[in-house]
């Protein structure tokens, strides 16, 4: 900034003394110097701009949306794999209402979500495969959790404990419950005490993108 001030002062004195032929030279020096300053300070200017975006929450929202989309893709993939292999599963996604009381009935996992981990939990030889897995944001909080069973289910088909538990927890909270039948391998999604039965993986993904807005 000092050097830029010297350039402006020199150009002003040159014009005052009547050296008009140097006007183009001074303009060239000032423009070239300012361009060089912008080039040198590019990282600092970019950092300052990104900090302002973070301050207004713009970048954070984009990052959260990308994380949510990636999570839904991975969750749909592992549900599809479990369905194809006819491995029973019950996954509860926490939203606004806390699921702390249900988490305390299971085994604390507290691990970042991954399709491989979720698949391993529900393998028939796993000691935690009978209970529910509770997911909060991008973490598997607990496994083997015990959920309340729905007393009344509006369906003519015979359903098992997993489906009743999935409906039951969504009757008492705003959570989402994904249930995979061990007998048929079909996927169902419960919300607000109602169950969407036998949905395809693509339908599950679209429903989660609409309903799951915890993060």
DSSP string, 101-144: HHHTTSEEEEEE--HHHHHHHTSTTSTTTTSEEEEETTEEEEEE
Higher-scoring residue by pLDDT: 81, 156: 81
SS3 at position 186: coil
Domains of the chain: 2-55 (no CATH), 64-211 (3.40.1700.10)
Higher-scoring residue by pLDDT: 77, 138: 77
pTM: predicted TM-score of the whole model, two decimal places:
0.69
Per-residue pLDDT of 139-194, as tens digits, reads 999 999 999 998 777 665 678 899 999 999 999 999 999 999 999 999 999 999 99
Cβ 81 vs Cβ 118: under 8 Å: no
- pLDDT value for 60: 44
30 burial type by CB count under 10 A (0-12 exposed, 13-18 middle, 19+ buried): middle
As given in the structure block, the two tokens for residue 195 are 């169950």
């Amino acid at each position: 900034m000092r050097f830029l001030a010297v350039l402006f002062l020199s150009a002003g004195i040159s014009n005052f003394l009547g050296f008009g032929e140097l006007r183009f030279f001074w303009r060239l020096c000032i423009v070239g110097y300012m361009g060089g300053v912008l080039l040198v300070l590019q990282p600092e200017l970019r950092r300052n701009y990104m900090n302002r975006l973070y301050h207004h929450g713009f970048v954070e929202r984009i990052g959260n949306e990308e994380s949510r989309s990636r999570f839904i893709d991975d969750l749909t993939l592992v549900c599809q794999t479990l369905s194809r292999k006819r491995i029973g599963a019950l996954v509860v996604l926490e939203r606004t209402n806390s699921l702390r009381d249900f988490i305390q009935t299971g085994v604390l996992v507290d691990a970042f979500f991954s399709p491989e981990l979720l698949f391993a939990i529900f393998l028939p030889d796993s000691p935690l495969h009978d209970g529910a897995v509770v997911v909060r944001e991008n973490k598997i909080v607990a496994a083997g959790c015990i959920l309340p069973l729905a007393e009344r289910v509006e369906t003519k088909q015979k359903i098992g404990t997993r489906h009743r538990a999935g409906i039951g927890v969504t009757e008492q909270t705003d959570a989402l419950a994904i249930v995979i039948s061990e007998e048929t391998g079909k996927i169902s999604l419960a919300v607000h005490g109602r169950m969407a039965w036998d949905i395809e993986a693509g339908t599950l993904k679209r429903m989660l993108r609409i309903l799951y807005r915890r993060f």
